[in-house]
Chain A
Amino acid sequence: MNARWLSACLLLAGGGSAAAQEDDTVKAVRSDFHALLNANAAKQRKSPPAAGVSLPPASDAELLGFVDRCWRIYDRSEGEPAEFDALTEILALTATNGAAGPRLEESWRNAAERLFTGFADDDRMAGVVLRPPAPTSLAKQANAWCEDVRGRTRNPEVLAAFEFKALQDDLSRNSQGQLDEAREQALVAKLRQLAARFGPQTVPFRNVTYAEFVKNTIYSIEHLKIGAVAPEIAAEDLDGVPFKLSDYRGKAVLLDFWGYW
């Protein structure tokens, strides 16, 4: 039990919060945090701030409360999966508003040091190096930590994530139809190399192997390009009635991949 944990307990003992419970989890932190964001957004909709003023999704004080819960989980979960989850959650929380006050920055630094030095060879580091969460003031430090991991790691999942990260700009331009023919071909060649080196590894946040991802992406470059006839969609509508995209030939169509969540 370290000093930080103790002081946090004393604080909470005063406040009488349920969050002091020993069975608190990162999942619970995440769900409580989302509830807070929704509540804050609803408040802002009800009484919008003055014109030109934009309120952050959560205040620093609110964020610190959640960060402290994560530290408590971290302190009692050495060697368990929750240890990693608590650290990454702290990085994500401190990055919420872009700008962060000194106490949030300090927590980011402490969590980043533990995470990047302790988990360089962990599969889960792949997602972190692909999108390292950081307040804007610490983005450079985040990149420096990633480079440090790149030099040390031997984990193929993590190495694959670095190769994948290098293609992000071109992939995003491609998905908006903004790559010319030459850059498109260059991207296809790089994707083939990625699949050849890291075929069996998993693309972070996507739950597919690089082999599948590359196959699908090359398909989309060839069949979903501007000027190509759209692939058919034949499926059910929201009432279970089957229909086809080609039923709408003769009309201009806005096809919207959406969700309410």
Chain B
Amino acid sequence: MFPHERSLVERLKDQPFALIGVNSDSDLAAMKPKFRDEKITWRSFWNGPEGTSGPISAAWNVSGWPTLYLLDHEGRIRQKYLGNPGDAVLDREIDALVAEASRAAARPAGPE
């Protein structure tokens, strides 16, 4: 998962796209050097010292890792995946949402 995520972040760095993690490692201090080794540079919330039982994954009713959500530029849930659906599927769905976000941003701001 990490190599493809690195390439997503790199490929879409000038586009309206963000990869946001919710990290569920309980011992953050021990893990941080490994994140550096893996070049996991994108921003993550920390699920807290309870690890996979932490408050964010509980509120989102996450039952398996990884769980992925795709949100559009208005914050709406557009896809969810329990487990990695595959690089090709992710690329296709993300590209569609990035295109939507770009179109919305290009629309001239006017009276509602």
A interface residue numbers (CB < 8 A to B): 171-172, 175-177, 206-207, 216-217, 219-220, 224-231, 233, 235-238, 243, 245-246, 248-261
Contacts and interface: CB of A to CB of B under 8 A. Distances in A.
7 contacts: A175-B64, A231-B59, A249-B75, A250-B16, A252-B18, A253-B20, A254-B18
B17 A176 contact: no
B74 interface: yes
Nearest to B43: A237
Contacts of B5: 254, 256
B73 A259 contact: no
A15 B31 CA distance: 37
Q: Please classify the interface of chain B as helix (H, G, I), strand (E, B), loop, or mixed, using the class held by over half of its residues.
A: mixed
Contact of B76 (A227, A250, A258, A261): A227
Contact of A224 (B21, B24, B58, B61): B61
A166 B81 CA distance: 22
B62 A252 contact: no
Contact of A259 (B8, B23, B68): B23
Nearest to A228: B77
A228 B76 contact: yes
B71 A252 contact: yes
Given A231-B59, A236-B45, A236-B46, A256 B20 contact: yes
Interface string B12-42: 0000111111111100100110110010000
A176 B73 CA distance: 20
Nearest to B90: A254
A251 B74 contact: no
B74 A257 contact: no
A243 B18 CA distance: 14
Given A235-B56, A248-B20, A251-B101, 11 more contacts: A176-B80, A219-B61, A227-B78, A229-B76, A248-B71, A252-B17, A252-B71, A254-B94, A256-B21, A256-B22, A260-B35
Contacts of A228: 76-77
Contact of A255 (B32, B34, B58, B69): B69
Of A220, A224, A254, A260, chain B has the most CB atoms within 10 Å of the CB of: A254
A235 to B, nearest CB: 4
A238 B61 contact: no
Contacts of A260: 23, 25, 31, 34-35, 38
Given A177-B80, A233-B45, A252-B17, A258 B22 contact: yes
Contacts of A257: 21-22, 24, 47, 56-57, 60, 62, 65-68
Q: Which 5 A-B pairs have the closest CB atoms?
A: A252-B97, A220-B61, A253-B71, A255-B69, A259-B24
Given A255-B69, A256-B5, A233 B98 contact: no
Contacts of A236: 45-46
A249 B73 contact: yes
A76 B69 CA distance: 49
Nearest to B25: A259
* Interface hub of A171, A217, A250, A260 (most chain B Cβ within 10 A): A260
Interface in B74-112: 74-82, 90, 94, 97-98, 100-101, 104-105
A40 to B, nearest CB: 20
B77 A224 contact: yes
A41 to B, nearest CB: 15
Nearest to B72: A252
